[in-house]
Amino acid sequence: MDPVRVGVIGVGHLGFHHARVYTELLNTDVVGIVDTNPERAAAVGELLRVPFYSDIEKFYRHARPDAVSVVVPTVHHYETAKRALGSGVNVLIEKPVTSTVEEAEELLQLAATQNLVLQVGHIERFNSAVQHVRNIIKDPLFLQSKRIGPFSSRISDVGVVLDLMIHDIDIILSLVHSEISSISAMGRSVRSNLEDIATAQIAFQNGTLAQILVSRVSERRLRQLEIMEPERFVTINYETQDVSIHRCVQEKECGLVEVIEHPVFPKREPLKLELQHFVTCVREGKQPLVGIMDGKRALEVAIAILKQIQAPGRAAESPAEIA
């Protein structure tokens, strides 16, 4: 079987790791990386020993990729992915999928018309701890997510909602099988012109509640999700990929006794799992675990949260308003 010919468009911090991981995958041939900065393209290309380009049209003509990762600034996601899909190339597009829901819908239609794979880079879905918990969570009552860390000037085109919170939105939407009934949110800027701290509360029609806190100006780094169910409390540490399950057991002599379980499961690099999944979907013509509909729904909720932050005091009260 011929290897899948892949390329990476945009080789900044994250794009570099896309290119690096592709070079490590079996049955995958990195036919080129692209960056508008010629020096950056050359540096990454020479380091990874792969062809490099600063002209995207030349890349498509010479490299003839089967698939590409789009890892450019969010404002360029739509045009870059549309160009690739229009050329018959399968696409993995980093989160957030696009700047607007309308752009995401157009990419969805284009990929369907072309019968191409269009995967969204919500990497936390491929976290080993998340994949383990997805198989055991049945009836969440309340979810609380915290994703905080120090400020980095590397991300400047989006605020903390589209930079960080969208990860947690996507995970929560994948665990709660219900429509949203209301959203309320607050946020503020600290080190940038966009929101650097934000909190959101989401109520679902089945009664489940979720609370998300994100910050990119915290001196402490934490990536954690807590899930309350009727008979257990589950904690995920995204960074260590550890899971803790807490239960209270009735003992005759001692009353309630807390029992803590630490499940053992294989742990792998989430980005490698994500890109391997993408390549497999391209090779076998399968739909990806995180498709454009997932990316579109997460974006819809993120936009609703941003509207709350920009115009506080009025909660989105219906799915129609959220969309």
The ranges assigned to domains in the chain are 4-123+271-288, 125-266+301-322
Task: Identify whether the C-beta of residue 301 lies closer than 8 Å to the C-beta of residue 322.
Answer: yes
For domain 125-266+301-322, which architecture applies? 2-Layer Sandwich (3.30)
Q: Are strands 180-188 and 67-70 parallel, antiparallel or unpaired?
A: unpaired
Measured CA to CA, the distance from residue 199 to residue 187 in angstroms comes to 6
Radius of gyration of the chain (CA): 21
* Amino acid letter, 13: H
Dig out the tokens for 102 from the structure: 């309308």
Q: Is 298 helix (H, G, I), strand (E, B) or coil?
A: helix
Dig out the tokens for 1 from the structure: 């079987």
139 Cβ contact list (under 8 Å, min separation 6): 229, 230
Measured CA to CA, the distance from residue 173 to residue 112 in angstroms comes to 23
- CATH for 4-123+271-288 is 3.40.50.720
Per-residue pLDDT of the chain (323 residues; tens, 9 = 90+): 789 999 999 999 999 999 999 999 999 999 999 999 999 999 999 999 999 999 999 999 999 999 999 999 999 999 999 999 999 999 999 999 999 999 999 999 999 999 999 999 999 999 999 999 999 999 999 999 999 999 887 766 789 999 999 999 999 999 999 999 999 999 999 988 999 999 999 999 999 999 999 999 999 999 999 999 999 999 999 999 999 999 988 766 767 788 999 999 999 999 999 999 999 999 999 999 999 999 999 999 999 999 999 886 655 554 445 54
